[in-house]
Each structure stands twice: as structure tokens, then as C-alpha cells.
Amino acid sequence: MALIEVFPNSPTAIQDAVTMSNEGDVILVHRGVYHESVQVSSVKNNIRIISKHKHAAILDGRCMELEAFELNGVAGVEIYGFKIKNYLSRGIQLINAKSNHILSNKIYHITGGVDPIGIFVNNSVGNLFMKNVVERIGIAESGSGIYLQTVTGNWVIKNKLKHNSAQGIEVLDGSHNAIIGNQISHNKGDGILVNRVDNNLIYDNKITDNGNNGVNAQSMNTMVLDSKIKGNRENGLFIALNYNFAGFNEIKDNKQSGIQVSSDFNDIQNNKIEKNEDNGVFIHHPQTANFVFENQFKRNNPHNIKDQGENNTIIQNTIKE
């Protein structure tokens, strides 16, 4: 294993280090500004690309390059501690990637091209995205913070996603992903959108002041647990498909319903649901067999619970005025 040190004295300094690296090598990038797009291909597994001083190595695309890093067909690669700005399409992109670690990067002003994204992941398994800050991605209503498509077993943990032009986090197709401990605020779309993605965990997130729903669950068997969901312009939580569980959340001050249900066989348990502007829990016609149990309701307008469905079970809830 070699340590390869990189300084900003070449327009392809980081790429040159990747090209000469072997499996297990560490590429240590020194302080400075780098104007390049770094491609890591399938023959470069298990290398680490590290900013020596966190956020002091800056990749600036000057609104000319497409992405700062692309990991294509690789496994075991780490990208740590970079500041990434002014790219046209992506900050970091993973395609056909497995077991990579994207840690403690700051990504912002990805505003060019079509549908810019801070971190884009496609057809990938078992990657970790942790403690990244992704903000001000996109223009108009295009541009999500983190976008995962056709993915399984990925971990999105303790990131900050704010002021993005579409969703904070969007997951489309796949299963068994975890979204844990993130701060997601002031995005123009949904805080979290999961669409055609089953068996996912959304746990201990703070989801506030987003332009659409806090969580938009267009999926089955999604667990939304122990999160604070406040001040979103639409619903705190929108449940569109069957067999989801929402429990132990604090859902407050959302401009539409605290929880809006347009599906069957969902469990809503042990939540604190307060001061939402279009009902605390709203179950639409003709939805059935939903279970609303041991929640605490307080001053939701006009109703704490509005059930327009059939044969839903609503028991042992506490209502405080």
C-alpha cells in the first residue's frame, strides 16, 4: 500500500494520482483549488482519496466540467473531506458501484445542465453516504441533494441537505435502504421522496420547512420512525401505498395534514401530532384497514382525525385541546 501525495500544480493532479494508484493505496490531496473531473474506473478498487485538511482541497468545475468525481463499476473507494462546487451535472456520481464510502464532503452550486444533483447513485449496492453537506443544488424546480436510483442496501446517514431546488433526498426503485439522522430543510420539493422503493428505514431525521411534503412515501413497507417533521408546506407525511409504518414521530405545524393516507393496511402509532393545518391524520375514501393507535393529538385544524375511509381501526388515541 502506497501513500500518494497530491498538490495543485497540474490541471489533472488528482486524476494522475488515481491513474498511477494500485489497490489499497491512499491518495492524500493537499490544500488548494483543483479544476478537474476525476474518473475512478473498475480497475481502481479499494483506493482512498482523502483531503488532507477537511474542506481545504477544493474541486471547482468553473461551470465547465460535468462532475467532480465519477465512480464507475468500482468497489471499496472512499472520497473524504472535499469541497466541491460549480459543476454542471453532479458533485459526486456513482454508477454500478458497491461498498464505497462518501464521507464529510461539502457540495454546493451544482446548477448547470439538465437535472443537476449533488450526489447521484445508479444501479449500486451497499454504499455509505455520511456527514456530507449538500446545498443549493439546481435551479427552478430541478436539482435534488441526494438521488438514488435502482439501489439496494445503501446507507444515507447524518447528512445536511438544504436549500436544494427539488428534493432533499430522492430514492427511485430498489429496496432495503436506510435514511438515518439527516437534517433536511428548506428544499423546494419533498424533504424525502421514496418512489417504488420497498422495505426502507427512515429513522431519526429532522425534516423541516420543505416546499412540499416532509416525507412522501410512494412505496410499501417503509418505516418512518422517531423523526421530527415540522413546518413543511404540504403534509408532514404522505402515505400513498400499502403496508407502511409511522411511529414515534413528532409531526407539527405542517401546512396540510400531519399524516395523509391514500392507501390501506398502514400503521400509525405513538406519534405526537400537533397544530397541523388540514387535519392531524386524514384518511381518504375509500381506504381501509389502517390502524391509528396511541397517538397524541393536539390542536390540529379542523379535525385531529378525519376518516373518510372504511373499516379503519382508530383506538386509544389521546386528544388534548
Q: What pLDDT digit, counting tens, does each position of 97-109 carry?
A: 999 999 999 999 9
Q: Which amino acid is at 23?
A: E
Q: Give me the residue label for grid cell 456527514.
A: 131
pLDDT over 90 (residue 210): yes
Q: Does pLDDT of 113 surpass 80? A: no
Express as a percent the part of the chain with pLDDT over 70: 100
d(CA 134, CA 321): 39
- 127-178 pLDDT tens trace: 999 999 999 999 877 999 999 999 999 999 999 999 999 999 999 999 999 9
What is the tens place of the pLDDT at every residue in 127-136? 999 999 999 9
User: Does 309 reside within a domain?
Assistant: yes
End-to-end, the C-alpha distance of the chain in Å comes to 65
| Domain assignment present for 87 | no
Range 98-124 average pLDDT: 94
Confidence of residue 204 (pLDDT cuts 50, 70, 90): very high
Q: Which residues contact 28 (CB under 8 A, 6 or more apart)?
A: 3, 4, 5, 6, 50, 52
Q: What is the DSSP letter of 289?
A: -
Residue 98 one-letter amino acid: K
In a domain, 77, yes or no: no
Instruction: Indicate the burial class of 315 (C-beta count within 10 angstroms; 0-12, 13-18, 19 or more).
Output: exposed
Residue 31 has pLDDT above 90, yes or no: yes
Give me the pLDDT at residue 143, please.
Answer: 95
Q: Compute the Cα dihedral for 75, 183, 83, 109 and give only its sign.
A: positive
Residue 221 falls inside a structural domain: yes
pTM over 0.75: yes
Range of the domain at 321: 200-321
Q: How confident is the model at residue 300 (pLDDT cuts 50, 70, 90)?
A: very high
Residue 198 has pLDDT above 80, yes or no: yes
- Tell me, what's the pLDDT at 169? 98
What is the model's pLDDT at position 115?
86
Inside any domain, residue 12: no
pLDDT for 51 beyond 90? yes
Partner residues linked to 180 by β-bridges: 157, 203
Q: DSSP letter at 113?
A: S
Residue among 255, 176, 172 at smallest CA distance from 208 = 255
Quick one: what percent of the chain has pLDDT higher than 90? 95
pLDDT of 275 strictly over 90: yes
pLDDT, residue 112, reads 78
Mean pLDDT estimate for the chain: 97
Q: Answer yes or no: is pLDDT of 206 > 90.
A: yes
H-helix or E-strand containing 215?
A: strand 215-218
Asked whether residue 61 is domain-assigned, the answer is no
Instruction: Give Cα 239 distance to the centre of its chain.
Output: 18
Is the Cα torsion angle 38, 176, 205, 191 positive or negative in sign?
Answer: positive
Residue 255 has pLDDT above 80, yes or no: yes
Q: How many domains does the chain have?
A: 1
C-alpha grid cell for residue 53? 485538511
pLDDT of residue 83: 98
Instruction: Specify if 217 maps to a domain.
Output: yes
Nearest to 271 by CA among 245, 239, 232: 245
Q: 321 or 20: whose pLDDT is higher?
A: 20
Cβ contacts of 298 within 8 Å, gap of 6 or more: 272, 273, 274, 275, 304, 319, 320, 321
> Is pLDDT above 90 for 9?
no
Is residue 114 over pLDDT 80?
Answer: no
Sign of torsion, CA 265 234 273 175? positive
Would you call 90 helix, strand, or coil by DSSP? strand
Residue 59 carries which side chain, given as an amino acid letter? L
Question: Per the domain annotation, does 229 fall within a domain?
Answer: yes
Task: Please report which helix (H) or strand (E) contains residue 19, including its range.
Answer: helix 13-20
